[in-house]
Structure formats: C-alpha cells, structure tokens
Structure 1
Amino acid sequence: MKVLLTGGTGFIGRELLKHLTTHEVVLLTRNPRQAKTTLSHTDMGNVSYISSLDGFHHLNDFDAVINLAGEPIAERRWTKKQKKIICDSRWKLTETLVELIHASTTPPSVFISGSAVGYYGDQQNHPFDESLQVNNQDFPHYVCSQWEQIANRARSDMTRVCILRTGFVLAPEGGALKKMLPPYRFGFGGPLGSGRQYIPWIHMLDMVRGIIYLMQTTHAHGEFNFSAPHPVTNLLFSQTLAKTLKRPHILRTPKWIMSLAMGESSVLLFDSIRAKPKKLTELGFHFSYSRIEPALKNLLQHHE
C-alpha cells in the first residue's frame, strides 16, 4: 500500500514506521532533512519525505492516510497561547487532509486519524467503551471532539474513517513512562494523589499493531479506544512499576503539588478513565500485552 503519514517523527510515528517497511510511505514533516537523520535506522528505503501539502490537489495516489501529527499535549502548561497551538496543530492539518480526500476521484480507502481517551474526561471508577456519549467543557474533550468531527467529514462510500482514542502509550523511549523512570529508579516512586484514578494504558507494540490492523481490516470504521483490556489504578500501576524495577514504593505525591506545578493540565494525571477497547477486540484484534505486569517487564527488560 502507498501510505501518507503525518507525525512520523513523533513518539508513536517512529515506532509505526518500523512496521510499515513493506509499504511505500510518504512522510509529511516540517524538516525533511532532520527527519531523514532522525529516522536513519528506521527508513528501509521505502520512505520519501515532503515538507508541505501545498502542491497536492488530491490524494488519488494514496491507499491510506495515517494522521498522527499534533503538538504534545502534556509538555507545557496550558496557557491561552499553548492551547491554541495544541488545537491548531491538530485541526488545521486534518482539515487540509479531509479537503484533499474530498477532491480525489479515487480517494484513499482509509483515513486513520488521532484522538485520545481524554475525550471522555473523568469517569471515576466506571468502566466504559466507545459507546459512551460525553459532553463536557474540559479542554481535552474540546480538543478531541473537534478533531474527531473534522476527521469524520472524510467519510464516504469510498473512504472509511477510523479514529484512534489513544491512552497512555508505554515505551521507555518516550511518553509518560520515560518521565517516570528516573525517580522510580532512585527509589522515589509512588502514586499520585489518592492513586484511585484509572490509567488507560497500552503497550507501544499493541499501539502500532492496532493501527496497521485497522488499516488492513476493510470493514473497520468509527472510534476505537486504543487502550489495553485491563486498565489499572494509578496505585497499582505505580506498585507494579516499582516492583518491576526492584525499587521501594513508599512516596506519595499530593494532588495539590502536581496541580500547582502543571496547572489545568494536571487533569491528564488525575482524571480517572477506565476505558475498554471493545470495538478493537470485537474486530478480532488480539493484544500482545493485556496485563500491566507483563507489559512493564517486557518494556523495561528490553530497555535495560
């Protein structure tokens, strides 16, 4: 397949490219030269690089579009300026892709576009799947709901749309786990706040395998929770991480400290999201890592 990929130099995109070596990939990136250097160990000669879509009037030549681009949501405090950057980086590119799909006479057969479990907001300890209807004013929901609405406009008889409501993707090279490892290795690990909030986690391998599964499963469409079948509380996650690293688990970080440090974005740590990947499993996708302990052991043993 010929695939147009955005966000290919990002946390998930870099790993996804390792699994797309049998496909022809066109990577949209702001800096092709830097991207070639970053991806030098991943590019098997099947990747070409473009810096803009300005020269495109349609996407007739592509079989699939995978849209993972977006400003990291947890890197900086959510100032008014940062919120606009987060929104624009997702919405504007997605709008352009949708317009090009509509302008195509033979459009890509599938458009896979990012979102996040932040769409759901705090659901306390209640388990739920993709059928849950949510309408709140929280910033993560606002970002994701608008992003999904834009992406879904690409849907037609010729193009199916799959939305990735992604959880906490676990890999030692990036994301939340990379930030957690140093304090835990020094024995300073512990739960955040009460620790009762649920974490919808997913192993990186299952993340990229799931994307490819949706790309190749021709009847797949709609919203998909990209999180393991067994979400865990922050306390259990913290205990398991400390146990895997053979470190003590004695410290607890009060919620007020994180709220002071992160401001509004601390909801990413304290919203309880017990999301279940019902639609993925009903499609027949099998998770390589459905339980947190084997997932962390695999990731950390490989990393060490």
Structure 2
Amino acid sequence: MARILITGGTGLVGKRLTQLLIDKNHEVLILSRNPKNENEFKWDIVKNYIDEKAFKNIDFIIHLAGAGIADERWTKKRKQVIIDSRVKTANLLFEKVNELKLELKGFISASGIGYYGAITSKTIFKETDKSGSDFLAEVCQKWEAAAHQFSKINIPITILRTGIVLAAKGGALEKMKTPAISPLGSGKQYIPWIHIDDLCQMYIQSIEANLIGIYNAVAPEHQTSITFSKTLAKSIKRPYLGIGVPAFMLKILFGELAVILLEGSRISTKKIEKNGYSFRFETLKKALNNL
C-alpha cells in the first residue's frame, strides 16, 4: 500500500485514478485550491503555498494539474495560463519536496503527445524522437523539464505523454457526440486516443511495478479522423456524414487552437508494452462499447 499525493485530483483523470487507487487499498491525498474533504489539502500557486500536512509520509506524487488545452481560445494570456498551471505547480512541488528533504519513491507527471508537435506526418513517433516546434510542443517541453528537476534530488521520474482521453462522462467524447458525426478537415489526420481506465492503470503500474521513464500513453490502434468518426457513429447509432467539417470553419471558430483538431500523427506504444503493460482497450470499438 502506498500513500500518494495527487495534483489535479478533481479533474477527469484525477477522479477516476483516485477511485481506482483506493480500490487497490492505496491512500490518496489531494491538493486543491478549495479543500472540502478530509483527504484534501490547500495549495495556492500565487502565494507559493502548500499545506505541509499534505506531505506527511507520502511515497509518490502524481502531477496531473493543468488548465484544459482545448477549453478556451489560445489568446496570449490563455497560453501563459496553460504553461504556468503545469510548470509553476511542478516547480512549487519541487521546492517543497527539496525543502522538506522528502525521500519519495517517485514523481509521476502527465505530459502530452503534443510534445512531438501538432503535425500530420508519416512518422510513428517514439519516446526518443525529438520534440516539435509549435506551442503545444513548447508546453510539453517545459512541463517535462519541470518534472525532470526531481532527478536532481534522486527521485525517480515517470512521464506519461497522453493522447485524447475517452471517458463515459466529460472530456472529449462528450463533445464528439453531435447529432451527426463527421470527420474534421481532410479527415486524414490521426487521432491518438486512450481509454481512461488504460491511462489510470498506467499510473497505477508506475507505482506498483516501478515503471520509470518516459512513455507514450495512447492506445496501440491508429485511427484517422475518418475511421474514428465512422466507428463512433456506428457505436452511438448516429448518422455518419462523409463530408468533413471544413478546416477554415474550425479556424474561424477556434483560432489557433484548431490545429489540435486538424493535425495528428501516429504514436508508438511499443515501449510501454515492452515494459509489461497490456492494454484492456486496445481498439476503439472495444473502448466505445465499454464507455
């Protein structure tokens, strides 16, 4: 049994992960701006404050905190919020862990497949591939650099580069369930996705099986916007329209943010599978049937 401190514990992944960790008899503590429950402790990035009681006897920190990438248009101000909510929070955790001389068994951080850049290419990206050069790549580089600080104080680091998380309630899938389903733009871009339970199990494996290092956290099956839309339409019994939503319309609606809808490459899962992870939902059909 481990004692685990989670940031972003009230978000989509955080809630499900907390539930699954408790089911496995782990103890979960949560950092929150507005703590309500007994296992929640206050933190305030602006004031550089974390309630030190949150760190008592903890074995692991799981860092999931971060403002939603697709929640608002990417204004200059919003871009800074996206970066700061990931990086400043990790920096604060590092300062406190260092100050309290905590000997953690691991620091486990979320990151995104945006690390490789929002592009459609023939490459199937592996963890060793270099990062992209756009805004999302910059976010992920800074996010991961903040996590890597923990190696300076001999704490093992795990980073999970995550794709689109599919869950029964909330998240991307809810937004996709439109009255008619159609691909976006050319429809040829790939959509790297993962079932929320597979993602949570990867975090659990990081704790229970000492999964250290950087891993792509997406399902092994590659789907384009066209094939994804067809599978989704069939699964939820909605009509499929073969005409893609035009790229220019998405750019008008979402501004620069539209790039995450219009571009996407394949992502390799070989490393995590070689390290003992076996997917519960390796195909989109199986994932959607479950959800």
Q: Determine if the TM-score, normalized by the shorter chain, exceeds 0.5.
A: yes
Counting aligned pairs with the same residue, the percent is 39
Measure, in 2, the Cα distance between the counterparts of 1:160 and 1:144.
19
Measure, in 1, the Cα distance between the counterparts of 2:73 and 2:51.
35
| SS of structure 1 residue aligned to 2:50 | coil
Structure 2: tracts of 5 or more residues without a match: 44-48
Q: Which residue of 1 aligns with 2:170?
A: 174
User: Are the structure 2 counterparts of residues 262 and 103 from structure 1 closer, same or farther at C-alpha, using a change threshold of 3 Å?
Assistant: same
Q: Which residue of 1 aligns with 2:238?
A: 247
CA contact (8 A) 1:109 1:158 kept: no
1:31 is aligned with what amino acid? N
| SS of structure 1 residue aligned to 2:186 | coil
Matches within 5 A, 1:186-225: 186=179, 188-218=180-210, 220-225=211-216
User: How far does residue 73 in structure 1 lie from its aligned partner after superposition?
Assistant: 0.9
User: Are the structure 2 counterparts of residues 71 and 106 from structure 1 closer, same or farther at C-alpha, using a change threshold of 3 Å?
Assistant: closer
Matches within 5 A, 1:289-304: 289-299=281-291
User: How far does residue 103 in structure 1 lie from its aligned partner after superposition?
Assistant: 3.0
2:28 is aligned with what amino acid? V
User: Are the structure 2 counterparts of residues 259 and 102 from structure 1 closer, same or farther at C-alpha, using a change threshold of 3 Å?
Assistant: same
CA contact (8 A) 1:29 1:51 kept: yes
Q: Which residue of 2 aligns with 1:27?
A: 30
TM normalised by structure 1 equals 0.88
Matches within 5 A, 1:1-304: 1-21=2-22, 22-33=25-36, 36=37, 48-52=39-43, 53-56=49-52, 59=55, 61-121=57-117, 122-136=119-133, 138-156=134-152, 158-181=154-177, 183=178, 186=179, 188-218=180-210, 220-250=211-241, 251-299=243-291
User: Are the structure 2 counterparts of residues 16 and 57 from structure 1 closer, same or farther at C-alpha, using a change threshold of 3 Å?
Assistant: closer
1:4 is aligned with what amino acid? L
User: How far does residue 170 in structure 1 lie from its aligned partner after superposition?
Assistant: 0.4
CA contact (8 A) 2:41 2:54 kept: no
Structure 1: tracts of 5 or more residues without a match: 37-46, 300-304
| SS of structure 2 residue aligned to 1:232 | coil
TM normalised by structure 2 equals 0.92
Q: Which residue of 2 aligns with 1:43?
A: none
CA contact (8 A) 1:117 1:273 kept: no
| SS of structure 1 residue aligned to 2:150 | coil
User: How far does residue 23 in structure 1 lie from its aligned partner after superposition?
Assistant: 1.4
2:255 is aligned with what amino acid? G
| SS of structure 2 residue aligned to 1:253 | coil
| SS of structure 1 residue aligned to 2:181 | coil
Cα RMSD over matched residues?
A: 1.7
Measure, in 2, the Cα distance between the counterparts of 1:241 and 1:55.
44
1:202 is aligned with what amino acid? I
Measure, in 2, the Cα distance between the counterparts of 1:100 and 1:57.
12
